[in-house]
A and B are shown apart, each in its own frame.
Chain A
Amino acid sequence: MMDFLNDFCSIGLSFKCDGFRLLYFGVSLLVFIICTLYAFDHMKGGKKNGRFWASWIVVFLCTAGLLFAGDLFTCFMFFEIMSLASTVWVFQRETGDSDIAGRVYLRISVACGMVMLFGIFLAAHDLGTLNFDELINVTRELPAEKTLLPAVLISVGFGAKAGVFLLHVWLPKAYTQSPAPGTAFLSAVLSKAGIIGIILTSSSLGVIGNKEWGNILLVLGAATMFTGALLAVFTNNLKRTVACSSLSQIGFIVVGVACMVLEPGGLSYTGTVLHMLNHTLIKTALFIAVGGIFKACGTLDLNELKGYGKKNLLLMPVFAVSGLSLAGVPGFSGYISKNMMHEALDEIALSSGLANGVSLIFTFTGGMTLCYMLKLFICLFVENGKGAKKNAVSKASVITALIPTILMAVSGILPRAFISLPSAAKLSEYQAATGEVFKDAALFEYFGAEALIATGISLITGICLYYICIRLILIGRKGDRVFYRHGLPDWFDLERYVYRPLFMYFLPFICAFAARLFDKLTDFIIYFFRKKVFKPLRKKRAATVGNSLSFGLGSFLDKITGRGKKPGKVSFVTSLALLNEQAAAIARMIERSLSLSMLLFSTGLVITLIYMLFK
């Protein structure tokens, strides 16, 4: 068995286990079970479910493999299979939109997978190993400049799955299009797999503490969280709001990872891991609830769903707890994780202007989070509208959505236990790379004045933003009718208006043009020679029958035999002329054909050869 693993693909698989991996596997398993239970209900009555279930199991197994991977190759293999298998979910519904979403997802997965592979090649060759533990030992002596390139390249692959800015374009589309259990699992577990990948790579390739890498992550994280929140605020589609919220929260987590790189220690680590756990639970609950609503009503348009929650009051805790937690209201789990990350960020901001700016965006985006969650809550539970008449949401959906909600609420009530979770479950690579014992994150004063003030600012910003962005901008009025517009103009689509034209049309066109030139080069040369150089000789018009030789020879023979005068016998002049004509025709045929040139060429070669051999 060990031999099999060591020889697998001649590179070898290896697995390891530590507290963090166990913790995250437990969470994934929980989410998997909840989503599976819900999927039985959600997929009922659908067509071609076989492929969904097959990919469902494959993705989960690969997630487990990825989490317990002990080296980069194992990580890469499970990651790729997971990406490809999860594509099935996005395509599953087979509508026009899901086709586009699936293709975008597939393209970005494969392309970023190739970039990642490049990084792995470099790491494997330059560092001589892919095993995480060995890598840490190898890179400890090396300067970070040597490992920065592979680290960046590998992180591109993981970042694409997480949905980091510039590679995020697939995320809103794919999350909106795949069936709800799939979206829940994608958002709750697969995106975290990407984040874990980035943390593992940074730790094992020795770029923890590297300023450049930290700053790149910081900027990308800030951009991701702001873009996600912006998209989430200005949309009138329920699922898209939640999907973009996912994007935004990933941004928060990436900022947390940047803090882990810039300011290694217990605070940033605990904050980031807590936020990951939080987000996993929140998004499981929200996407299942949204899926239930879609299954019952057949629409995701907020205008159609106004007041839907009034008849389905059990959905209220789901949206309320997740909204409050996401927004970071004191008393909920999100408050703790967000403030821990913020505190770590502020420590960095003491010496870095960039971190100062990011810290501001952090607060502001926190406000935007409250804004879009308020939008959903008010639309579903406060306003009156058509939604009240729609079918009730299924029991399975409510129950499965309530499980993570309860867990979330409990973790908010018991902050001590919640905080001690990450310090109990340490990621061994990160610990080894930072080389220090985590200072006790429990010392963090989560009801300290600073944290409360920051939260207060963020919440006030959120309420103001709700009034300005939603009430004034997003909501349109036509006579009595009040409706949610689609807030962002159509051209606000990086994928459709920049990536697709550039990578699908422009670049292939140029490259294909160049390739075709090379392709046709030889054929063209042959064609040219056939038309210009080996062209048929111009026919000479013969004045008499045959040419002079045949005429002379013919008349000579005629005179000797006396044929020309005898009737009934063909004269030699005519027959020789005929022969000559035939010979000329054959000669012309040979002359015109390329084979003659080949023949002559080969003959020449053979003669050369024989000459040289026997000289």
Chain B
Amino acid sequence: MNDFFTKLITILPILFPICAGIAVAFYERKGEHRHSFGKGLLISLLVAETCLSGLYVFFGAEKLVIFSFTDLISAVLKKDLFTQIFIVMTSFVFLLTGIYATDYMRHDDSKTEEEQKVKTLAGKTFFCFYLVVWGVLVGLAQAGNLLTFYMFYELMTVTSVVLVVHDMTKEALFAAKKYIYYSIAGASFALFGFAFIAKTTGGNLEFLPGGSLTGVNGENSGIVLISVFLMILGFGAKAGLFPMHGWLPSAHPVAPAPASAVLSSIICKAGALGIIRVVFFIAGPELLRGTPVQWAFLTISLLTVFMGSMLAYKENVLKKRLAYSTVSQVSYILFGIACLNPVSLFGAVLHMIFHACLKTTLFLNAGTVIYSTGRHRCDELVGIGNALPVTLSTFTVASLGLVGIPPVCGFVSKWYLCMGALDMKETVVGYIGIAILLISALLTAGYLLSIVVAGFFPGQDVKEFDENLERSGKVKKGMLIVMAVLAVMALLLGVFAKIFYDLSFDMIYDLF
């Protein structure tokens, strides 16, 4: 009985949201209270899934084999530190973004009944796939070997496209196509590496701390290294790593704000999780240390850090700016992984969590601005602080976090990343890395704080913002509360970051 219970709470966080999503798609209710009823239902689903995830994190099975044909071809679920971190992060972001979305996705401004019908359907589709993606992401985090991981990874790509394509405009369709192409190309790189590694080493590619490759010797180490690099590049496509980051700036601006938030804060991190799995659970850090693969990985991650923030600095469309910012920030994480030492990996993990919190805040803020004023471009936001004071305040907190001003959380992760970078034997690389991270932080200040400054201090000659905001939608209370909660979380996570250290540093240290 107890065994059955453990199995149940292991599987349920994956299955429940998928079933719930499908149920949402067929849900129909007419009458006066249908909006508030639907909203209540959605929120209760979100909360239920969060509780299930929590149950899993505490009481889930350590290892569960779903089926197994051979050692290699089997579906295995496992629970370790990264699973727990990723699931907690996912539930946190999905829950808050979901609550925000119940307000954001509701459109009261449709004129005809036909329009209303289309919009309702679109909203339903959104929530359906929102829930399904959540389930898939939980599965992704639980995956215990490379094949399972790969399966959930592809599922995630396919289901999350629907979130991108939501508006069904020409740009959205184009962006969705681009997203699919880049992701599938990345996944096929990964598959390539997967196949070669499986063939050369004969390992079963289970995720084991410290690496699961056994048959590596002088003869085949070259091909193994190349395969690992291909897998890094492949999973890097999702994380916005340099050669294949192109989908991010296209997909984010066209997706609705909650979808962008989720894409940027969780789905990009799934790529980073993939790389962590490959580097620390398949190949093992010892295999890669000092090899050309490490140098190449370091170089492209630093290049991406710089490129992303530079382009964000030059970008005028708000959500595109944030998308480029994601490109740069996720590469901070990859840089931390590439340094291959415990401190920097701990920094990377922290940055994964903190960036999720901060970027969600920023995207939801951007969403609120678009929702209530219909403005997309940064130069149109002069004086926005008068119209949306709470929104811009939370934006300010998140910006400061991303720049790395203590005590907001971004600082702490940057601290460990840089300490880790200095821990490397080649100190010059560490110095260059830190210099680039700091230049990028400076650019981050340039592209985020400039919005804050223009928003709060418009100058006297600028016309005051219209009191009745242009579109019908006054900002709803639910949205404000979610943003405020996120901003407060950003502060608290920074102040109490020591908890993460106590909980996870030993386990991260054991990977080496």
Q: Does A506 contact B (CB under 8 A)?
A: no
Encode A99-123 as 1/0 by CB contact (under 8 A) with B. Answer: 1001100100011011101100110
Which of B184, B244, B310, B415 meets A602, CB within 8 Å?
B184
User: A102 to chain B: closest CB distance in Å?
Assistant: 7
Q: Does A508 contact B (CB under 8 A)?
A: yes
User: A98 to chain B: closest CB distance in Å?
Assistant: 8
Residue of B nearest to A47 (CB): B460
The reply to whether B460 and A84 form a contact with Cβ atoms under 8 Å apart is no
> CB-CB < 8 A to B303: which residues of A?
518
The reply to whether B449 and A110 form a contact with Cβ atoms under 8 Å apart is yes
Encode B161-199 as 1/0 by CB contact (under 8 A) with A. Answer: 000000000000000000001001100100110010011
Which B residues between 259 and 297 are near A, CB-CB below 8 angstroms?
A: none
The reply to whether A523 and B407 form a contact with Cβ atoms under 8 Å apart is no
Q: Does A598 contact B (CB under 8 A)?
A: yes
> CB-CB < 8 A to B498: which residues of A?
7-10
The reply to whether B457 and A9 form a contact with Cβ atoms under 8 Å apart is no
Which B residues between 272 and 331 are near A, CB-CB below 8 angstroms?
A: 303, 306-307, 310-311, 313-314
Q: Does B411 contact A (CB under 8 A)?
A: yes
The reply to whether A9 and B314 form a contact with Cβ atoms under 8 Å apart is no
B contact residues, total (Cβ < 8 Å):
60
Most buried by B among A84, A515, A602: A515
The reply to whether B192 and A605 form a contact with Cβ atoms under 8 Å apart is yes
The reply to whether A609 and B195 form a contact with Cβ atoms under 8 Å apart is yes
Instruction: Give the distance in Å from the alpha carbon of A598 to the alpha carbon of B306 in the complex.
Output: 30
The reply to whether B195 and A519 form a contact with Cβ atoms under 8 Å apart is no
The reply to whether B181 and A598 form a contact with Cβ atoms under 8 Å apart is yes
Q: Does B246 contact A (CB under 8 A)?
A: yes
User: B200 to chain A: closest CB distance in Å?
Assistant: 10
The reply to whether A512 and B438 form a contact with Cβ atoms under 8 Å apart is no
Residue of A nearest to B420 (CB): A125
Q: Does B103 contact A (CB under 8 A)?
A: no
Instruction: Give the distance in Å from the alpha carbon of A597 to the alpha carbon of B457 in the complex.
Output: 53
User: A179 to chain B: closest CB distance in Å?
Assistant: 13
A-B pairs under 8 A by CB, number: 130
Q: Does B453 contact A (CB under 8 A)?
A: yes
User: A96 to chain B: closest CB distance in Å?
Assistant: 6
Q: Which of B23-31, B397-405, B481-489 contacts A (4 or more CB under 8 A)?
A: B397-405
The reply to whether A521 and B311 form a contact with Cβ atoms under 8 Å apart is no
Which A residues between 501 and 528 are near B, CB-CB below 8 angstroms?
A: 508, 511-512, 515-516, 518-519, 521-523, 526
Q: Does B458 contact A (CB under 8 A)?
A: yes
The reply to whether A114 and B442 form a contact with Cβ atoms under 8 Å apart is yes
User: B246 to chain A: closest CB distance in Å?
Assistant: 5
Which A residues between 576 and 597 are near B, CB-CB below 8 angstroms?
A: 594-595
Encode B104-120 as 1/0 by CB contact (under 8 A) with A. Answer: 00000000000000000
Q: Does A95 contact B (CB under 8 A)?
A: yes
Q: Does B422 contact A (CB under 8 A)?
A: yes
Most buried by B among A9, A10, A111, A605: A10
Instruction: Give the distance in Å from the alpha carbon of A368 to the alpha carbon of B243 in the complex.
Output: 60
- Assess A522 versus B313: contact at CB under 8 Å? Given A7-B496, A117-B438, A605-B191: no
Which A residues between 332 and 354 are near B, CB-CB below 8 angstroms?
A: none
Q: Does A360 contact B (CB under 8 A)?
A: no
Residue of A nearest to B310 (CB): A515
Instruction: Give the distance in Å from the alpha carbon of A605 to the alpha carbon of B188 in the complex.
Output: 8
Which B residues between 442 and 465 are near A, CB-CB below 8 angstroms?
A: 442, 445, 449, 453, 456-461
Which of B307, B419, B434, B501 meets A515, CB within 8 Å?
B307
The reply to whether B185 and A518 form a contact with Cβ atoms under 8 Å apart is no
Residue of B nearest to A73 (CB): B406
Which of B198, B415, B495 meets A612, CB within 8 Å?
B198
The reply to whether A91 and B453 form a contact with Cβ atoms under 8 Å apart is yes
Instruction: Give the distance in Å from the alpha carbon of A118 to the alpha carbon of B73 in the complex.
Output: 48
Residue of B nearest to A504 (CB): B446
Q: Does A76 contact B (CB under 8 A)?
A: yes
User: B180 to chain A: closest CB distance in Å?
Assistant: 9
> CB-CB < 8 A to B435: which residues of A?
118
A contact residues, total (Cβ < 8 Å):
53
Most buried by A among B404, B419, B460: B460
User: A508 to chain B: closest CB distance in Å?
Assistant: 7
The reply to whether A508 and B313 form a contact with Cβ atoms under 8 Å apart is yes
Residue of B nearest to A74 (CB): B406
Which of A7, A508, A594, A605 meets B181, CB within 8 Å?
A594
User: B252 to chain A: closest CB distance in Å?
Assistant: 14
> CB-CB < 8 A to A598: which residues of B?
181, 184-185, 188
Q: Does A560 contact B (CB under 8 A)?
A: no
Encode B418-438 as 1/0 by CB contact (under 8 A) with A. Answer: 110011000000000011001
Residue of A nearest to B422 (CB): A125
The reply to whether A522 and B459 form a contact with Cβ atoms under 8 Å apart is no
Residue of B nearest to A99 (CB): B459
The reply to whether A508 and B422 form a contact with Cβ atoms under 8 Å apart is no
Q: Does B72 contact A (CB under 8 A)?
A: yes
Residue of B nearest to A13 (CB): B407
> CB-CB < 8 A to B495: which residues of A?
8-9
> CB-CB < 8 A to B307: which residues of A?
515, 518-519
The reply to whether A522 and B244 form a contact with Cβ atoms under 8 Å apart is yes
> CB-CB < 8 A to B387: which residues of A?
none
Q: Does B126 contact A (CB under 8 A)?
A: no
Encode B318-351 as 1/0 by CB contact (under 8 A) with A. Answer: 0000000000000000000000000000000000
Most buried by A among B310, B441, B457: B457
The reply to whether A508 and B453 form a contact with Cβ atoms under 8 Å apart is no
> CB-CB < 8 A to B411: which residues of A?
9
Instruction: Give the distance in Å from the alpha carbon of A493 to the alpha carbon of B303 in the complex.
Output: 35
- Assess A9 versus B494: contact at CB under 8 Å? Given A77-B407, A117-B438: yes
> CB-CB < 8 A to A124: which residues of B?
419
Which of B184, B199, B405, B434 meets A84, CB within 8 Å?
B405
Which of A76, A94, A608 meets B457, CB within 8 Å?
A94
Encode B54-86 as 1/0 by CB contact (under 8 A) with A. Answer: 000000000000000010110000000000000
The reply to whether A110 and B407 form a contact with Cβ atoms under 8 Å apart is no
Encode A68-99 as 1/0 by CB contact (under 8 A) with B. Answer: 00000100110011001000000100111001
Residue of A nearest to B439 (CB): A114
Instruction: Give the distance in Å from the alpha carbon of A91 to the alpha carbon of B500 in the complex.
Output: 38
Which B residues between 121 and 135 are near A, CB-CB below 8 angstroms?
A: none
Which A residues between 120 and 139 are near B, CB-CB below 8 angstroms?
A: 121-122, 124-126
Instruction: Give the distance in Å from the alpha carbon of A307 to the alpha carbon of B244 in the complex.
Output: 70
Q: Does B497 contact A (CB under 8 A)?
A: yes
> CB-CB < 8 A to B419: which residues of A?
121, 124-125
Q: Does B242 contact A (CB under 8 A)?
A: yes
Q: Does B412 contact A (CB under 8 A)?
A: yes
> CB-CB < 8 A to A126: which residues of B?
422
The reply to whether B434 and A121 form a contact with Cβ atoms under 8 Å apart is yes
User: A307 to chain B: closest CB distance in Å?
Assistant: 31
> CB-CB < 8 A to B496: which residues of A?
7
The reply to whether B460 and A601 form a contact with Cβ atoms under 8 Å apart is no
> CB-CB < 8 A to A515: which residues of B?
306-307, 310-311
User: A477 to chain B: closest CB distance in Å?
Assistant: 37
Q: List 6 A-B contacts (CB under 8 A).
A: A9-B497, A91-B453, A110-B449, A508-B310, A515-B310, A518-B303
4 residue pairs, one from A and one from B, having the closest CB atoms: A7-B498, A515-B310, A10-B497, A10-B498
Q: Footprint of B on A, CB under 8 Å? A: 7-11, 51, 73, 76-77, 80-81, 84, 91, 94-96, 99, 102-103, 106, 110-111, 113-115, 117-118, 121-122, 124-126, 508, 511-512, 515-516, 518-519, 521-523, 526, 594-595, 598, 601-602, 605, 608-609, 612-613
Known: A512-B313, A522-B245, A605-B188. 14 other contacts (CB 8 A): A9-B406, A9-B407, A10-B497, A10-B501, A94-B457, A99-B457, A106-B453, A110-B445, A113-B405, A115-B438, A118-B438, A126-B422, A595-B181, A602-B188
